[in-house]
Amino acid sequence: MAKLMIDLTTEQVAELLRHLSPEQLRMVLAQVADRLEVREWMRLGESGFREWLTEPELYVDDRPPR
């Protein structure tokens, strides 16, 4: 299936959504919610990983050898 990209303003998207039936709107909103959840988990994972990499190592034995 060929893909088509168009630029829409948020107002235009809102106008298009008004023409959907309640069931279609629920389906679209569920898909949007799923994508937002995935993006949020990805963002949290990335920021957590960055923080983990910058944390001081807690289990390093930094005592001088005997």
Q: What is the pLDDT of residue 43?
A: 87
Question: What is residue 56's DSSP assignment?
Answer: P
pLDDT at position 30, please? 97
In the chain, where the domains are located: 22-53
* Contact between 25 and 17 (Cβ < 8 Å): yes
Predicted local distance difference test score (pLDDT) of residue 62: 67
Q: How far apart are CA 61 and CA 22, in angstroms?
A: 62
Output the tens digit of pLDDT for each of the chain's 66 residues: 899 999 999 999 999 999 999 999 999 999 999 999 999 999 888 887 777 777 777 666 666 666
Position 53 scores a pLDDT of: 73
pLDDT at 50: 74
